[in-house]
Chains A and B, each alone.
Chain A
Amino acid sequence: MREGPEEKTLLQDVPWPDEPPVMAPGQTYGSVTDSIADVVLKRPIGLGWLGGFLIAGGLVMLLLVAVTYLFIRGVGIWGIEIPVAWGFAIINFVWWIGIGHAGTLISAILLLLKQSWRNSINRFAEAMTLFAVACAGMFPVLHLGRPWLAYWLFPYPSSMGVWPQFRSPLVWDVFAVSTYATISAVFWYVGLVPDFATMREKATHPVPRKIYGLLAMGWRGSARHWKRYESLYLLLAGLATPLVLSVHTVVSFDFAVAIMPGWHTTIFPPYFVAGAIYSGFAMVLVLAIPIRKYYHLEALITMRHLQNSAKVMLATGLIVAYGYFFETFIGMYSGSTYERFMLENRWFGQYAPLYWSLILCNILIPQILWIPKMRSNIKVLFLVSLDILIGMWLERFVIVITSLSRDFLPSSWGHYTATRWDWAVFLGTIGFFSAAMFVFVRIMPAISIFEMRMLLPEAEVKAE
């Protein structure tokens, strides 16, 4: 345990003497406010933003085309067939929703743990969560076959007199994901309200002024309001903490409750949650590195944030590695022919190259983060994060496809290949996510302004 100044608690974040600070020195309330708000209010739209947005927008168009064609022709345009009825749709669903987890982890769990470095990355990490959950939510609905009947998933008094089957993990998923999306959205909005008030006062043009004013709801920074606000913020964090752990747990139940070899295992919930946070932090770095560079926010998102994220990735990556190890161990130890075959099939079967690439991407390559020099090398961090995102996608592919294509009966074995429409929808959601992030950084403060002010030393009330 490290000695911290004054009344720091055990878990509070206290940097080592040689560690980079959470915020570059010399900042004031005003400079923090300006450097964050001016990104939105003053900075002209650059060619880099425009180019990136056009590419992302083009992919959104691809998504629209792919979804339209899907509505016309049905899910037959995808590569799914019996026995592999869950293809890219479920892989991408799990991948996207996992990415979302880092946002809630940063905004809720790190808040409860008093990790003050979270204050500069929680806002855009929460935005990332929302957009990732939106992308995730598309897949199960599109996969329904008749997506216009998606409301059948909710318990409502229908004229048919039928109700959802509450013993099914797929119904749990509906509740888990919709609650997660709603709570993430209100958490994000509540966090934004005081910053909208700042934007309202700083905006010079009357139209943005009006819009920010509406969104700020007349926030005036009253001490009574702040008190209720802080109380709620803490409670929401407390509610979101078990929520974020529950979402990927419920997603893992989709698999673990089935009897399929390779799915039916109790290690799934913790291992899925760790994997979710692993890929989520990778996405945080993939977004934070360009944002801080392009918008000159290096003073607010410092090396400390990047290094801490790298450490979280290292830790969760090891939990994921433990998950892989135990999957293998139990497969061997169970003595079940089918479990053993599942392992052999993963190692040497038709999708073996994907399995070994996943081990390379998720377990071997990220180990270079042990080296402190590598953790402070931005290029390395960016590349490792991309590598983890690919690795986690491969993990879901291996879990879904290898088990489904080789189940108990050799007579029902099959093969799965994604079609161009599978890829179109997947790339389309990546475009949707990126386009939403591009828009977000231009219209909202990407860093929580009021929480950054709280990090300044003068924010603390000195005793008389």
Chain B
Amino acid sequence: MKHELTPAIYGLMAEFESSTDLVQATRAAYSAGYRKMDAYSPFPIEEASEALGFHKTRIPLIVLIGGLLGGSGAYALQYWINCISYPLNVGGRPWHSWVAFIIPTFEMTVLFGGLAGVFGMFALNGLPMPHHPVFNVDRFSEVTRDKFFLVVEAADSKFDLVTTTQFMESLKPLSISEVPH
């Protein structure tokens, strides 16, 4: 295989047959020093993100913050409404009937926690993003079916078209393609 040095490419893509091959290739690439890379698969593979060195997400924190804001907001709103803005005597119960306020508080905790998580997940993933260089490779459509891909980006400091291609060939992929921008 011969390659011209074209700095305009996004990276190199290797295609694999199984999840095990992908994870092993990713681990090999990581220990070879590549960092700006990504593994693509038709279903979540925990080991793949681990192999990329991507261990922690901020999703739980976002959900926690969303839930706390939703819950405390709901409680504060009920307190303000029932004790300050519009005090209403119902059957002689105290204005600050906190037991009754728990239910809307709980519901709003779940609502805001859940929505914060969903929007946070899409935002951190940079979605919606209808166009991405990886889609320029025709074979890549198989990632939504039964093939696994490893992409090393040209932006990686260790990236060199010739040596990286040789490295990728050593991983024994089904195919290697250049990913144009």
Contact = CB atoms under 8 A, between A and B. Distances in A.
A373 interface: no
Nearest to B148: A221
Interface string A174-196: 01100100110011001000100
Contacts of B180: none
A324 interface: no
A219 B127 contact: yes
A29 B145 CA distance: 7
Contacts of A230: 44, 46
B104 A163 contact: no
A7 interface: no
Contacts of A175: 103-104, 107-108
Contact of A250 (B103, B122, B143): B103
Interface in B45-101: 45-49, 51-52, 54, 57, 59-60, 63, 67, 77-78, 81-82, 85-86, 88, 90, 93, 97, 100-101
Given A29-B145, A165-B90, A218 B128 contact: yes
Contact of A235 (B60, B82, B144): B60
B47 A461 contact: yes
A244 to B, nearest CB: 10
Contacts, number: 201
A224 B110 CA distance: 25
B81 A166 contact: yes
A412 interface: no
Nearest to B122: A217
Given A166-B78, A464-B24, A217 B63 contact: no
B9 interface: no
Contacts of B120: 232
B1 interface: no
A356 B44 CA distance: 51
Interface residues of A, number: 65
Interface in B15-50: 18-20, 23-24, 26, 38-49
B44 A183 contact: no
Contacts of A242: 106, 110
20 contacts: A28-B146, A163-B85, A163-B86, A166-B78, A166-B104, A176-B103, A179-B107, A217-B128, A217-B129, A219-B127, A219-B144, A221-B143, A223-B40, A224-B125, A225-B127, A226-B44, A230-B46, A232-B59, A232-B121, A453-B43
Given A198-B144, A201-B141, A228-B59, A166 B101 contact: yes
Nearest to B151: A222
Contact of B43 (A166, A239, A450, A462): A450
Given A172-B104, A453-B43, 8 more contacts: A29-B146, A33-B146, A161-B85, A166-B81, A223-B38, A229-B125, A450-B43, A462-B20
